[in-house]
Amino acid sequence: TCGGRGRSHRAARSGSPRRAVPSVRDPSTGGAALFARYAYPPNALGYCGPDAAAELLERAAGPAPGPSSDAGLRHLARGFEGAWPYLELIAAANGLGDPLDRRVVEAYWIGNGLLDRVPTALLVRSLEDRFRGRFRGGVGGSWDRLVATAVGARPHHSFHVFGVYPWLGLLRGGRVEEPLRVLDRCRIRTGRVLSLDGDEAMVESRPLAWDGRRLHEGAPRAERVVVSAAGRSLVGPLAPGDLCTLHWDWVCDRVSPHQVAALRRRSAQQLAVVDAARYPAPANVLA
């Protein structure tokens, strides 16, 4: 069983009505806080971004940020060297002056129409600016393999996870357990809240599966995730039946059915690109 003895759970009832996700009056605002919600979980593990996990959680979990808090979040966001260039790319391709425009942030983490306005040539140029110098000789071989993963791709978080990081190559090389775990946790995935228990929740989600040839979403399963720590939560009040997004072991946001569909579609799109690639991403991207 997943729950400990003596714990009480608020469980979802079959057919429970799903609560509407509050709408955003000005879609250009709130992007810095939204970015922080998704960026905090890997930052707390030391995987990316500045060494400021406590500050990031405090600012992300606080009330709607005022000018000073928003400025602090913006400063922290620029320290995420993996994500920030994608935000700049999406904003520029759509004529938006702010990489932390909420629509841009949502495009990167979840997915929306802004991604489709980013030409492949611009994505490749961005990859070239960031990674080409890490390849011996600069061209050919491994560099061409990385460029090949960008054909048909979009500057979505799942592209970086599946197409740039070398974990798929490790899977194809026969190392399965740890690469599969990292790929599943590092991507943004969707869930449905089953029950709540203090700082944790049980959610139903679909883990990544590997059949020896390709990655795909597996059958639904229940998993325990973190909702809050030290009284701070990345998401507002949750209830059984709510749809949510997950990054590593945290619930990041409560989302709508439309957003769930968008995230699953964008992730599946990128999985199809990397599954069709003859070669995996080269390991020296992370060197």
| 233-265 pLDDT, tens digit each | 999 889 999 999 999 999 999 999 999 999 999
In this prediction, residues 77-89 reach a mean pLDDT of 95
| 87 against 277, higher pLDDT | 87
Write the CB contacts of 280 (distance below 8 Å, at least 6 apart in sequence): 145, 166, 168, 169, 170, 171, 172, 274
Task: Name the least confident of 17-21, 45-49, 53-57, 175-179.
Answer: 17-21
If pLDDT is split at 50, 70 and 90, which confidence band does 139 have?
A: very low
If pLDDT is split at 50, 70 and 90, which confidence band does 284 have?
A: very low
The closest of 22, 30, 202, 23 to 100, measured between CA atoms, is 30
β-pair partners for 10: 196
Whether the Cβ atoms of residue 110 and residue 245 lie closer than 8 Å to each other: yes
The pLDDT, as a whole number, for residue 11 is 46
Q: What is the pTM of this model?
A: 0.85
If pLDDT is split at 50, 70 and 90, which confidence band does 140 have?
A: very low
Indicate the average pLDDT of the chain.
Answer: 83
In this prediction, residues 147-163 reach a mean pLDDT of 86
Q: What pLDDT digit, counting tens, does each position of 54-75 carry?
A: 999 988 887 665 555 688 899 9
Question: Is pLDDT at 22 greater than 60 in this prediction?
Answer: no
Phi, psi of 131 (to 5 degrees): -120, -15
Write the CB contacts of 236 (distance below 8 Å, at least 6 apart in sequence): 254
If pLDDT is split at 50, 70 and 90, which confidence band does 164 have?
A: confident
Question: Is pLDDT at 2 greater than 80 in this prediction?
Answer: no
The pLDDT, as a whole number, for residue 163 is 82
In this prediction, residues 197-220 reach a mean pLDDT of 93
The pLDDT, as a whole number, for residue 165 is 77
For the four alpha carbons of 178, 181, 184 and 188, in that order, the dihedral sign comes to negative
Task: Name the least confident of 29-33, 110-114, 283-287.
Answer: 283-287
Percent of the chain scoring above 90 in pLDDT: 56
Question: Is pLDDT at 10 greater than 50 in this prediction?
Answer: no
The pLDDT, as a whole number, for residue 8 is 39
Tokens 């946001």 locate to 253
